[in-house]
Structure 1
Amino acid sequence: MQALTPELRQWIQSQLAAGHSVATLRASMHAAGWRDDATDMALAELERGAPAEPPPRRTEMPEPRLDGDPLYLDAGDRRVQVMQTLAQPRVVVFGQLLSDEECEGLIEAARARLARSLTVETKTGGEAVNADRTSDGMFFQRGESELVTRIEARIARLLNWPVERGEGLQILRYSPGAQYRPHYDYFDPGEPGTPTILRRGGQRVGTLVMYLQEPERGGATTFPDVGLAVAPVRGTGVFFSYDRPHPTTKTLHGGAPVEAGEKWVATKWLREGEFK
């Protein structure tokens, strides 16, 4: 019987994580000359902790109205520019999403409330400091101020997603050297703390990152799976959605290190249900 090498084990794990089914892997390994006993041993050992198929796609998703390839969209109180679109992953870059005054207003309202950014801890359902995220941040309550309410209404109209299905607006400051290493925004269904998190509004289905202050260098929002980098230009925003909590969405993304200056962003996460 052929030996199960560490390289083979790692390859199988990576293929399962990428969303390939066990049946597909078994056929590929057989075609490559692996005997069935070794193949079955490897898959039986590793498939237990990974789903054989990706979860089903959601049909109801946040999405701007882009029929006819418009250059601008009506966001209610503001005309927003469509700068770039990508189908897979679903990414839309918006220009003129926020005014300079709105960017300054969010920064000033958030500055005194900043603390080391936390990440949702899917193993427990709580929050924790994460070495991969080296920014400072805070959350506004939904509708906390006239400025926040106005921006939330604009986002809801732009993305066709109700205000109540959004988390509170988060403000983040990245100083020189700060970054957020590549990650997914959805909650991993396999983690024990995820059911607790989902009780507040279900899965995350979309993210909108808005740039409030440009750094002098660095700080792009990156999508490693597709080689995309979005420059953090003030007043612009990048929206991306994920119709299933799975790597096949190709929504792995991160905040590249700030090389000089400070980067400020506002992030809005969208949930499948009402966020409470």
Structure 2
Amino acid sequence: MSQVVSSELRAWMIEQLAAGHSVPALRRSMLESGWRDEVADAALAEIGKAAPDATPALAVPVPVPGPDLANAPLYIDAGDRQVAVLQTLAHPRVVVFGNLLSDAECDALIAAARVRLARSLTVETQTGGEAVNVDRTSEGMFFERGENPVVACIEQRIARLLRWPLEFGEGLQVLRYAPGAQYRPHYDYFDPGEPGTPTILRRGGQRVGTLVMYLQAPARGGATTFPDVGLEVAPQRGTAVFFSYDRPDPSTRTLHGGAPVLSGEKWVATKWLRERQFT
């Protein structure tokens, strides 16, 4: 390893963690200073062993949802339809699905959501509530789990496809991105070092997986991007991108965003999956 944890750096890391800075925040600072991700992880792990009372250990991996890819299938039986496996990535675990939604289902979700749209909010880990975020300029709404037959059918399909209990899913969120709208790169898990996170986790634990389903493709732009690995997923109608994260930490490489829509409208439906039953 070309970068070594000096005594000065070790002291600084312990001081920052003891002052209440989270492991993800410290890791981000190290990466911004030029440390490679694997070296930053090793350094944090070393500090955790050397000074367990001064710093929290790196988050322990947990089980995550995901399709059965053991035999490299081209299609997966999701109960009421055969879903195509179009692309996979191991780290981060990303799977692009085709034929997940029918045209009729896309139209039904858009029609039901359109009359309930409002400026999208993000979960606020400082307080445990929700707030407008300048990084997110879409409009959106949430369906209750199983709110109507179309939503219930899609949720059953997702549960079977990703082998994760239906009750562990948040309500389906539908978002509309007009020209110029975007969602800047972010993580979907809740930072364990933030004061509002314990309140959020009471409803079902951490988020461990995200499924973004494309209901309407814009004329240009609007890709789902993964900056850490240089991946862009085009928002083709009826397809979806799934990714999982086994710990609330940047080492999962699940930084992602919605690129600006350049022309037309993009509609998506997002399903977030939790560690346990979401209430």
TM-score range, shorter chain: 0.7 to 0.9
- 1:55 corresponds in structure 2 to 59
TM-score of the aligned structures, taking structure 2 as reference length: 0.85
- 1:225 corresponds in structure 2 to 228
> Which letter does structure 2 place at the counterpart of 1:275?
F
| Residue 28 in structure 1 maps to residue 31 in structure 2 | no
What secondary structure does 2:200 align onto? helix
- 1:190 corresponds in structure 2 to 193
Structure 1 gap ranges (5+):
1-23, 31-35
* Pair 1:266–1:39, CA change in 2 (3 A): closer
What secondary structure does 1:235 align onto? coil
What secondary structure does 1:268 align onto? strand
- 2:146 corresponds in structure 1 to 143
Selected match of 1:118 from 118, 121, 125: 121
* Pair 1:240–1:47, CA change in 2 (3 A): same
1:64-213 aligned within 5 A: 64-213=67-216
1:104 shift after superposition:
0.3
* Pair 1:39–1:103, CA change in 2 (3 A): closer
| Distance in 2 between residues matched to 1:257 and 1:195, nearest whole Å | 32
- 2:276 corresponds in structure 1 to 273
What secondary structure does 1:275 align onto? coil
> Which letter does structure 1 place at the counterpart of 2:205?
G
> What percentage of aligned pairs have identical amino acids?
70
> Which letter does structure 1 place at the counterpart of 2:12?
A
What secondary structure does 2:13 align onto? helix
| Distance in 2 between residues matched to 1:92 and 1:159, nearest whole Å | 11
| Distance in 2 between residues matched to 1:213 and 1:224, nearest whole Å | 23
Count of aligned residue pairs for this structure pair: 245
1:40 shift after superposition:
4.9
What secondary structure does 2:4 align onto? helix
| Distance in 2 between residues matched to 1:105 and 1:47, nearest whole Å | 49
1:39 shift after superposition:
3.6
The C-alpha deviation readout for 1:142-173, integer Å capped at 9, x for no partner, is: 00000000000000000000110000000000
> Which letter does structure 2 place at the counterpart of 1:46?
Q
| Distance in 1 between residues matched to 2:148 and 2:59, nearest whole Å | 38
- 2:16 corresponds in structure 1 to 46
Structure 2 gap ranges (5+):
24-43, 46-57
| Distance in 2 between residues matched to 1:61 and 1:43, nearest whole Å | 30
Instruction: Give yes or no for contact 2:22–2:192 (8 Å, CA) kept in 1.
Output: no
What secondary structure does 1:28 align onto? coil
- Structure 1 moving runs of 4+ over 6 Å: none
Selected match of 1:259 from 246, 258, 262: 262
What secondary structure does 1:113 align onto? coil
Aligned-CA RMSD value: 1.5
- 1:4 corresponds in structure 2 to none
Q: Larger Cα Rg: Structure 1 or Structure 2?
A: 1
